Amino acid sequence: MEEPCGPAGAAAPLRGDAEEPKQGSVLFLGGNEVKSSAVVKYSSAPPQAAFARLQEKTDLKLPPANWLRESAKLGPAGTTILGNNKKSKPFSSFGMAYDFIDSVGNDVDVVSDSENIKKLLKIPYSKSHVSMAVHRIGRTLLLDELDIQELFMRSSQTGDWTWLKEFYQRLIDQKWQRKKKSKEHWYQKAILSKFLYYSINGDGAAQPVPSTSKQHQEGPVSGESDETGRASWPAPFEMPSSLSEDPGASNQGLKNDFVRNILWTFEDIHMLVGSNMPIFGGGRYPAVSLRLRDNNKPINVLTGIDYWLDNLICNVPELVMCFHVNGIVQKYEMIKTEDIPNLENSNFSTKVIKDIAQNILSFLKSNCTKEGHTYWLFKASGSDIVKLYDLTTLCEETEDKYQNPFTMPVAILLYKVACNMMLKKNQNKKYYGTIRTLLLNCLKLLDNGRHPQIIASANYMLSELFQLDEPKKDDSTDFPINGNSDESYSEEEEEMPDSDENGSYSNSSDPPDDNKAVAIIKSVGELSVPEKYKSVHRIRPSCAFPVCHGTEERCRLVLNYVLEGLKSVDSSVKKEGDLPAADPSTPIPLKYEDESTSGGPECLEKQMALFLDKMGSFQKGKHSSQSGMIPGSWQYKMKLQLILKSSKAYYVLSEAAMILQKYGRALRYIKLALQCHDTYCCLCASMLPEVLLFLCQCLTLCGDIQLMLAQNANNRAAYLEEYNYQTKEDQEILHSLHRESRCQVFAWATDLSTDLECQLSVSCKCYEAAYEILLFSNLKNQNPEQRVQVLKRMGNIRNEIGVFYMNQAAAVQTERVVSKNVSTTEQQLWKKSFSCFEEGIQNFESIDDATNAALLLCNTGRLMRICAQAHCATEGDLKREFSPEEALYYNKAIDYYLKALRSLGKRDVHPAVWDSVNWELSTTYFTMATLQQDYAPLSRKAQEQIEKEVSEAMMKSLKYCDVDTVSVRQPLCQYRAATIHHRLASMYHSCLRNQVGDEHLRKQHRVLADLHYSKAVRLFQLLKDAPCEFLRVQLERVAFAEFQMASQNSSAGKLKTLFGALDIMAKTKSAFQLIRKELVAESEQISKDKSSAENTLPNDSSAGLNKEEVLKLLSIFESRMSFLLLQSIKLLTSTKKKIGGINEEEAVLKTNKQVYSLLLRATANKSTTLLERIEVILNLLGQLTQNTAAGAGGVQ
């Protein structure tokens, strides 16, 4: 419970152990303004009691009845708790830091005993020696008294620190001797103790109160023995027991045994201070401190500063002074805290004290830059020079660093602060750089042989700082570069010396050993000068989180830390038979809950075993560690965490390689990820859903990679090289995994095959395995997205395999020797392909993916068409007919295409797929109709029935052939529709020629033929790349007109039909213009490139133009035009003789004769080129166009 103090100078009521909070109070002391506020973070003191005012002449030399009995009012061990007589323990600041870990490294500047703070602030006033250990944790400094003499008493027995003893003797230039306390010292302590016991008010004063904690006692009666002094130092090689909640921790000196822990803000300095000063209250005096003074000895400045700082730190507004002469009480005096600096004989400036505090803090922060190092602040007795040494560096130069008794407490504190920040790391990424630096410095202090558990845990936490599963974004913004403000500090670089005006650190005139000092204050007087020492504590990038320029770099850092952690774990696990008895009750309490502690469903392990057995390679028998790790031990728990982390890192690396299309590398990484997972399965009895879900993701990615390898078979050699490459780091991690398992369970999924079919089936097996995990672990309901992803991939891979088998079947069909029978191989391939498509369709339908289901139905339709093609008779067979098997498979194909359209529902769902399915359906109907038309099954069906079926199929093909929608496929649709109309027109034309009898039917056929011819012409005219097809249709129309003319008797009727036919011919002008354009373009290209002209064969066609076809059609066109012109001339001449001349007819006759004459001459000349012949035709058609209409009008 926090207990904020009221401001100094105000009376704060006391309730129990809590005081009314009031912070940020300002003291106005002797005209000097000093800002001070205090918040009690913890207090074990009882409710404040009023003190008993002793009668005059009370003899303090006589002990009271309750003397030395523990009293709650004085706190435990009341004989020693008065602050200025309390001897500080060497690790008191660490005890506080452990208890208030939130404040360390960030918010607080200093953590220390109030006695140490006072000693520092009195340096300019005092001649006594100062010896303190200084440690840096983040931006916080920990100050502890370093009793060098006590340390040497210890070292004389253990042999440690002899180098420091020699150094110290040289430093102070005298034979070292331990000073003994005077009789006067013990006398003063004894009467003070008796005075405090006398002052406890009430009858219950002498009643002993049971103590809640064992504390090291140093009292005036028992004396200050060497044994108790030495007991406060922990043995250098012991694991700090404070980590394990050991009740013996207090013996290590790492326990917080202050009555109060106060967060004291003095000006801009934030300090966490421990104080044991007794505070009395009640009645007229709500909170006072009680002091005993010899009336014959005036209060000096040092005592005044002591009293003032004690009251300021504890926020006590008043001081009660009891004066005595030779132990006989004389009088009491009440002094306000703000009046203490103005007392007679003890005048001091509070402003100067403030300057001293700021200078000392700046000096220490500027020079104690290396985290984890032990610095020694030393001022010899009577000296004015203050020196700062780096004991860690000195120690490493001479002895083992573990001889420094501070090494372990500092390492543990760094670790604890980092652990505490890790819990908040998701709230603010600015902590990342600090956490990393804390952990790296912690690791520097530790020895793997001695502290493998902390090392493994620290490395795991370092790996946890790198977020592997973050959403994709620009890597440069992943972490703040200097987002640590003043928390940043150098861990490698030495501080630059301050400038002369801020106090020079030059060593030129110092004694020889002073060059060992990190920094020197040449005169304590400098500390009183305002801002004499400005902190050169700058923001340094070494504390910033490293910027990773890519996923691979980030993962590699993670794997590096994981490897160090694994090495630490493995080195601590001895060989089997050599294993120590497990002691699970004393691990370091890690901040991370082990994932293996909470299991899934009871049957999960059995199902996993069955699944792995089904996948192959599962070793029957008990799964346990081959290295002999004991389940439940810290090694076991830590290795599980590290293995899982490495698995995730390899998974992310594999994903990144996939994006870069480095599929060989991706497969190698996913193989390592699955090997890690295999080891995890081997060690872990039950798995959490998150772990199973991750396994599912790994198998899914593995399936993706195998599929991509199958689709990119051209680069197989490069992929193989990537796959076989391995870094030393990967090999070492694998070596650690092999200590626990063979890592072969997932070998089937991660081998790089050279066979396409094998790669596809492995990919499919990976997805199936992933889906099976989702099923038996009941994850599919908790993770619907993952289920959808897996099923989508299963559908996709089954489509791929189906297409693979379908293409193989088509290839076999192409290579088949002339034979009517379909081979067994083909049939097997059809079955496999069909089975894959069917399963894929089910996968997509189960997740309501209509689009992909439609695509698979479309592919099934294509398979049916391949089956139909396989059943057609060979080309050598002249009696080839459209077989029933072909009809059956084409109809099946049509059914699948229609199902695909039903699956989509409407075009809006997916226009591209909808159009594609429509096109395939139209093609199937068209192909079936064409085959029936070209290879009519007359042996089985009547001509009329065949014609009806062809007509229906063609019309259905037209229905699904969208000519109106503007798209890439529109010209194809127009060409298809034009071709259908052309074929239908030809069919009705043929029926008309061959039909005898039923006049109504003949008329119907004539109308239909004419209709389809005109539609075909209209569509071909829209196309700019089909002049030959347009010509052919027009020539057929001319033939149709000739056929009609043959059945006509009247000259007028014949003339009308003739002029109609000539008009059709005149309309072919656009087709001839297109042909001419292409021929001209071709001749220009040839003339540009002479060399290619020599290599060009005469019959070569230009792009999209078949010259042979053009020549053939041109010859027919010339003959039909010649015939029509001749017939028109004959008819017009005979009509003229009968009824006399008509001006229009004469003009037409004249033109026709002229055109006919020119045509005969042109056709007679055999040396004319194709282009010249076309030019002639275009010229003749131009002349005809002017007269055809007039001629037709004249006849009417």
> Over the stretch 677-694, which tens digit does the pLDDT of each residue have?
888 888 887 778 888 888
Task: Assign 503 a pLDDT band (cuts: 50, 70, 90).
Answer: very low
The reported pLDDT for the residue numbered 1003 is: 84
Instruction: Give residue-wise pLDDT tens across range 85-129.
Output: 445 566 788 888 888 888 887 789 999 999 999 999 888 888 888
Taking the C-alpha atoms of residue 604 and residue 773, their distance in angstroms, rounded to an integer, is 10
**Element containing residue 292 per DSSP (H, E):** strand 288-294
Contacts of 421 (CB under 8 A, 6+ apart): 105, 431, 434, 435, 438
The reported pLDDT for the residue numbered 482 is: 39
Which range is least confidently modeled, 102-116, 299-313, 1172-1186? 1172-1186
Calculate what percentage of the chain has a pLDDT beyond 70. 74
Query: Has residue 50 got a pLDDT over 70?
Result: yes
Token pair listed for 1120: 């039909």
The reported pLDDT for the residue numbered 841 is: 94
**HEC profile for 504-521?**
CCCCCCCCHHHHHEEEEE
The reported pLDDT for the residue numbered 709 is: 93
Taking the C-alpha atoms of residue 202 and residue 51, their distance in angstroms, rounded to an integer, is 9
Instruction: Give residue-wise pLDDT tens across range 254-285.
Output: 677 788 899 999 988 999 999 888 888 766 66
* Cβ–Cβ under 8 Å, residues 1174 and 1070: no
Instruction: Give residue-wise pLDDT tens across range 14-38.
Output: 333 333 333 444 444 444 568 888 8
Task: Assign 1188 a pLDDT band (cuts: 50, 70, 90).
Answer: low
The reported pLDDT for the residue numbered 590 is: 35
Which range is least confidently modeled, 55-59, 166-170, 701-705, 1134-1138? 1134-1138
Reference 648, options 555, 735, 739, 568; nearest CA is 555
The reported pLDDT for the residue numbered 645 is: 93
Higher pLDDT, 374 or 47: 374
Query: Has residue 568 got a pLDDT over 60?
Result: yes
Task: Assign 924 a pLDDT band (cuts: 50, 70, 90).
Answer: very high
Higher pLDDT, 60 or 705: 705
The reported pLDDT for the residue numbered 46 is: 77
The reported pLDDT for the residue numbered 624 is: 61
Strands 288-294 and 318-325 turn out to be parallel
Query: 967-1002 burial by CB neighbour count: b if 16+ within 10 A, else e?
Result: eebeebbbbbbbbbbbbbbbbbbebbeeeeeeeeee
Instruction: Give residue-wise pLDDT tens across range 181-216.
Output: 788 888 888 888 888 888 885 443 433 333 333 333
Taking the C-alpha atoms of residue 275 and residue 254, their distance in angstroms, rounded to an integer, is 16
The reported pLDDT for the residue numbered 1 is: 41
The reported pLDDT for the residue numbered 216 is: 35
Query: Has residue 53 got a pLDDT over 60?
Result: yes
What global pTM score does this model have?
0.71
* Cβ–Cβ under 8 Å, residues 826 and 809: yes
Query: Has residue 992 got a pLDDT over 70?
Result: yes
Higher pLDDT, 1136 or 1174: 1174
Burial class (CB in 10 A: 0-12, 13-18, 19+), 611: middle
Euclidean distance between the first and final Cα of the chain, in Å? 119
In whole angstroms, how large is the CA radius of gyration of the chain?
Answer: 51
The reported pLDDT for the residue numbered 272 is: 92
Reference 1025, options 1130, 1102, 1121, 957; nearest CA is 1102
Query: Has residue 391 got a pLDDT over 60?
Result: yes
Query: Has residue 931 got a pLDDT over 60?
Result: yes
**HEC profile for 68-130?**
CCCECCCECCCCCCCHHHCCCCCCHHHHHHHHCCCCCCCCCCEEEEHHHHHHHHCCCCCCCCE
Reference 864, options 838, 902, 901, 825; nearest CA is 838
Higher pLDDT, 252 or 517: 517
Which range is least confidently modeled, 414-423, 424-433, 450-459? 424-433
Query: Has residue 406 got a pLDDT over 80?
Result: no
Task: Assign 226 a pLDDT band (cuts: 50, 70, 90).
Answer: very low
Interval 1118-1136 mean pLDDT: 82
The reported pLDDT for the residue numbered 236 is: 30
Interval 319-337 mean pLDDT: 90
Calculate what percentage of the chain has a pLDDT beyond 90. 18
Higher pLDDT, 853 or 1025: 853
Mean pLDDT: which of 155-164, 219-228, 1073-1082 is highest?
A: 1073-1082
Reference 635, options 573, 561, 559; nearest CA is 573
Reference 669, options 659, 684, 654; nearest CA is 654
**Mean pLDDT taken over the chain:** 76
Task: Assign 933 a pLDDT band (cuts: 50, 70, 90).
Answer: confident
Token pair listed for 899: 């199902």
The reported pLDDT for the residue numbered 1140 is: 52
Which range is least confidently modeled, 26-35, 615-624, 1076-1085? 615-624
Token pair listed for 435: 């956490």
State phi, psi for 446 to the nearest 5 degrees.
-100, 150
Interval 1082-1101 mean pLDDT: 61
Interval 528-535 mean pLDDT: 73
Higher pLDDT, 778 or 1093: 778
Interval 772-789 mean pLDDT: 81
* Cβ–Cβ under 8 Å, residues 480 and 545: yes
The reported pLDDT for the residue numbered 830 is: 92
Taking the C-alpha atoms of residue 755 and residue 570, their distance in angstroms, rounded to an integer, is 40
Query: Has residue 720 got a pLDDT over 60?
Result: yes
Taking the C-alpha atoms of residue 2 and residue 11, their distance in angstroms, rounded to an integer, is 19
Task: Assign 800 a pLDDT band (cuts: 50, 70, 90).
Answer: very high
Burial class (CB in 10 A: 0-12, 13-18, 19+), 550: exposed
